[in-house]
Amino acid sequence: MKNDETFINMALSISKDYEAIHYIDLASTHYTSFFPMNNEKNWHKSSDRSNFWEDAIAFFNSRVYEEDLEGLLSCFKEEIILKALEEDYSYSLTFRVKKEKEPTYYRIKVFNSPEEETPHLIACIKDVHKEMLRYKELRAKKREASTYFCLASTLASRYYQIFYVDVNNHTYSTLYNTATDIDLGLTFDEKDFWEDVIINSEKIVYHEDINIFRETLKKENLINELEKNGAASLTYRLVLGEQPMYMSLRALYGRNDKNHIIVGVENIDAQIKKENEYKYLLGMALNQANRDELTGVKNMHAFKEYEDTLQLEIDSSEEPKFAVVMCDINNLKQINDTQGHEKGDEAIREGCRAICRTFAHSPVFRVGGDEFVAVLRNTDYQNRNTLLKTFKREMIDSLNKKGVVVAIGMSDYKANEDKLVKEVLARADSSMYANKKQLKDL
């Protein structure tokens, strides 16, 4: 008797979990429903009803959330449930019931009733809304953790070495990328990160980069940079083999953790060398684009860029000191017509050599077929009048020897008069044509 009472008490305790329990006669499909009353030890028993399966389907159609209805109806069928119970102790389905504020999760769990002369089923309805919300939250956190792990693994794969540093006691852990073939030949005792920075930098950091390396990784400097910008970074070189190797260092606080700093070291040597090669090739291409093929001096495109630079200096009221020399090869058309273009090209080259020889410290530009411009600054600007006289004497000598003759004109930039470079060019051009006439009259 006592055992029976204990068993009943256990059953009552377990039943507290459910909002409704249905006792179903499989043969007739009649069923009785039990609902808990305010007194936890008592249940309200409804009158017998005729067809559990039809009533269940009607309830589902009227109360179950639309997105769950089709799946629930396809699975909550007598033949499916009975077959499942042949293999397992219970059969359960979770679904949402329409409520005023939001759908609420419920679970129906069906058992075989033990030791009955006629087969019966017990179907229990339970509110599992809080349980499902907790499950979804845990699943979302697990998904988030998995995503962070994948992201961290992917990002970490770019680094040769990662240090995890305790800000307070200076100890650290070292992680290596096993895919790299770099051997620094160092050992890390992991007792004091900042002390090891000093010791190891002396051994492997390129001598020109040691000071900036140590200053960047000095504890107070590193923390100040992290507090100010959220990250610290440095590109430096290691001494490995014959050539320095470029490395990149990046430091961050741990996620929501200012007690630890993560320092990643990446090998960027191939990337830097590729960028340098690209810059070199780009420079070569730009130089080629700005170079006159016949004479080797700069061309009209380069002069336009130089003119723009001078104009910016004038516009910013810097009052630059410069003079412009305009040159033109005399009788080039006649040489081309009577002696051929090869002789004409040689005349252009010879005239260009004379200009470059005289104005040796100034950029010279070929701006037309037989026209050249030189911009005099610094030493050539200071000696401009002497250089101009020297060039004119040389051209008179060449004229007397039946050689190539170059007419020349020069004009200084006048800060109180000139607003445009073109004004200086125009005066130099006029002066050059005056000299051309003088040479022809000789």
For residue 189, the model assigns a pLDDT of 66
Question: pLDDT by residue (tens digit) across 149-178?
Answer: 666 666 666 777 888 899 999 998 887 766
Position 40 pLDDT exceeds 60: no
Lowest mean pLDDT among 48-62, 153-167, 198-212: 153-167
Position 14 pLDDT exceeds 70: no
Torsion of CA 332, 334, 336, 339, to 10 degrees: -120
For residue 182, the model assigns a pLDDT of 60
For residue 340, the model assigns a pLDDT of 93
Across 129-138, 182-191, 425-434, which has the greatest mean pLDDT?
425-434
Do 99 and 78 contact (CB within 8 A), yes or no?
Answer: no
This prediction has a pTM of 0.46
Question: pLDDT by residue (tens digit) across 243-300?
Answer: 888 989 999 998 788 999 998 888 888 888 888 888 888 877 777 788 999 999 999 9
Position 380 pLDDT exceeds 70: yes
pLDDT interval class at 11 (50, 70, 90): low
pLDDT interval class at 1 (50, 70, 90): very low
Question: pLDDT by residue (tens digit) across 316-330?
Answer: 988 899 999 999 999
Position 190 pLDDT exceeds 90: no
Contacts of 213 (CB under 8 A, 6+ apart): 197, 201, 205, 234, 236
Q: Which domains are delineated in the chain?
A: 2-130 (3.30.450), 157-272 (3.30.450.20), 290-441 (3.30.70.270)
Q: What percent of the chain has pLDDT over 70?
A: 89
For residue 352, the model assigns a pLDDT of 96
